[in-house]
Amino acid sequence: MGPFANRITKLPPKVRELVEEFRDELSTVLGKNLVGAYLHGSIAFPEYEPHAGDIDFHVVIRRPLAGEEIRRLDHLHRALSARFEFGKRLDGFYIPLAKARKSEIPRGIVYGAHGRIHHGGSDDAWALHREHLHASAYIRLQGPSASRIFPRADWKSIRSALYRQLLYARKIIESDSWWAVLNLCRLVYSFENGRIVVSKLGAARWALKRLPSKWRPVVRSAIKTYHGTETSDYRAVLRRDARKFLGFASVRIIAFDSTWDSRQPHIAHLRKRERRAGR
Out of 148, 174, 190, pick the residue that ends a domain.
Answer: 148
Count of beta carbons in the 10 Å neighbourhood of residue 237: 21
Range of the domain at 125: 2-148
Of 111, 131, 148, which residue sits at a domain end?
A: 148
> Does 105 lie in the same domain as 21?
yes
- C-alpha dihedral sign at 1, 165, 278, 193: negative
For residue range 180-218, what is the model confidence (pLDDT) as tens digits? 999 999 999 999 998 999 999 999 999 999 999 999 999
Whether 97 and 193 share a structural domain: no
Alpha carbon distance 66, 80 (integer Å): 21
Pair 104, 176 in one domain? no
Residues 249/204, Cβ–Cβ less than 8 Å: no
Give residue 261's pLDDT band: very low, low, confident or very high (50, 70, 90). Answer: low
- Say how many CA atoms lie within 13 Å of 210 toward its Cβ: 14
Contact 90, 80 (CB under 8 A): yes
Q: Are residues 7 and 119 located together in one domain of the fold?
A: yes
Give backbone dihedrals phi and psi of 112, rounded to 5 degrees, phi first: -110, 135
Residues 130 and 198 in one domain: no
Task: Clarify whether residues 130 and 78 are in a common domain.
Answer: yes
Per-residue pLDDT band at 7 (split at 50, 70, 90)? confident
Round to whole Å and give the CA distance between 174 and 170.
8
End position of a domain, from candidates 113, 148, 183? 148
Spell out the residues 6+ positions from residue 97 whose beta carbon is closer than 8 angstroms to its own. 35, 60, 61, 62, 63, 149
Three-state SS letters, 195-209: CCCCCHHHHHHHHHH
- Number of folded domains that form the chain: 2
